[in-house]
C-alpha cells in the first residue's frame, strides 16, 4: 500500500449529504475483485448520462477537477452498504483524502486499509474548505498527516484527530497483509518450532 505522509493537491467540492457507497460505485461494478480499474466508474450515475456520455456539470468532469486528489464532501459520507469497492474506486481515480463532518464507520475504516485518509472536521471548517475547493485548480490544499493539519490555499489551517494506530499504518503503507508481514520472522520461528514439536500435524 502506498504511504501517506503529506499531500498537496486539487480539492473537489461535493457538498451533497449522505453520499452512499452505491453512489460512489454502483452495484453493477462489484463483480471484480481487483482494486484497479474502478476509477472510471466512480460516481458513475452522476458522471454519465444513459448513453455513457459525460455530464459536463458534474464536478469531476470539469477540467479543473479531473486531477483532484482531495474530496471535500457533505455530512455522512460513505453510508449505505459496506462495499470495499467504494474506497477502491476513489483511490483508482486518484482521490487520496476525503474531508467531511462525518463518515459511515465501515467506510471510514476501509479507507485506512486502502491508502485513503478520511478527515473529520467541524461543519465550520468544512465550510471554509468547501469554499476554497470551489476556486478550482488554482487552489491547492495541503493535508499533513504527521502533524494532523489541513491547510487551505489561503493558508488557513485546521487540526484533525486520527487514531494513532491507523495513522501509523497509513504513514508506513501498511494494510492488513503488510501488518502481518511485519511479523514474518516471528511467524516463521513459530512454525519451525511447531513442526519440531508436532511433526505429525
How far apart CA 152 and CA 128 sit, in angstroms, is: 8
For the purposes of burial, counting CB atoms within 10 Å of the CB of 111, is it exposed (0-12), middle (13-18) or buried (19 or more)?
A: buried
**192 compared with 116, residue with greater pLDDT:** 116
Pairing of strands 97-100, 70-73: parallel
Closest by Cα among 163, 69, 73 to 123: 73
| Average pLDDT for 94-108 | 97
Who contacts 134 (Cβ-Cβ below 8 Å, separation ≥6)? 13
For the stretch 119-133, pLDDT in tens is 999 999 999 999 999
Position 35 scores a pLDDT of 78
Position 93 scores a pLDDT of 97
Q: Indicate if the pLDDT at residue 76 is higher than 90.
A: yes
Position 195 scores a pLDDT of 76
CB-CB contact of 117 with 90 (8 Å): no
**191 compared with 41, residue with greater pLDDT:** 41
| Average pLDDT for 67-93 | 96
| Average pLDDT for 90-96 | 97
| Average pLDDT for 43-71 | 96
Position 179 scores a pLDDT of 62
Position 36 scores a pLDDT of 83
Structure confidence at residue 176 as a pLDDT band (50, 70, 90) = low
Q: Could you tell me the domains of the chain? A: 6-197 (3.20.19.10)
Question: At which residue does the C-alpha cell 448520462 appear?
Answer: 49
| Average pLDDT for 150-163 | 97
* DSSP, residue by residue, 104-135: -HHHHHHHHHTT-EEEE--HHHHHHHHHHHTT
Amino acid at each position: 500500500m502506498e504511504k501517506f505522509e503529506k499531500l498537496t493537491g486539487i480539492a473537489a467540492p461535493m457538498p451533497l449529504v449522505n453520499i452512499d457507497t452505491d453512489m460512489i460505485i454502483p452495484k453493477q461494478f462489484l463483480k471484480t475483485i481487483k482494486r484497479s480499474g474502478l476509477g472510471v466508474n466512480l460516481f458513475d450515475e452522476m458522471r454519465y448520462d444513459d448513453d455513457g456520455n459525460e455530464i459536463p456539470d458534474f464536478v469531476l468532469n470539469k477540467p479543473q477537477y479531473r486531477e483532484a486528489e482531495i474530496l471535500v464532501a457533505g455530512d455522512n459520507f460513505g453510508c449505505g452498504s459496506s462495499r470495499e469497492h467504494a474506497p477502491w474506486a476513489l483511490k483508482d481515480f486518484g482521490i487520496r483524502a476525503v474531508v467531511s463532518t462525518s463518515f459511515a464507520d465501515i467506510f471510514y475504516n476501509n479507507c485506512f486499509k486502502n491508502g485513503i485518509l478520511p478527515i473529520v472536521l467541524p461543519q465550520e471548517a468544512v465550510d471554509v474548505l468547501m469554499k476554497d475547493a470551489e476556486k478550482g485548480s488554482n487552489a491547492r490544499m495541503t493535508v499533513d498527516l504527521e502533524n494532523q493539519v489541513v491547510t487551505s490555499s489561503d493558508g488557513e489551517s485546521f487540526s484533525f484527530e486520527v487514531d494513532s494506530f491507523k495513522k501509523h499504518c497509513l504513514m508506513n503503507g501498511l494494510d492488513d497483509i503488510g501488518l502481518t508481514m511485519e511479523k514474518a520472522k516471528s511467524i516463521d520461528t513459530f512454525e519451525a518450532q511447531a513442526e519440531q514439536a508436532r511433526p505429525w500435524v
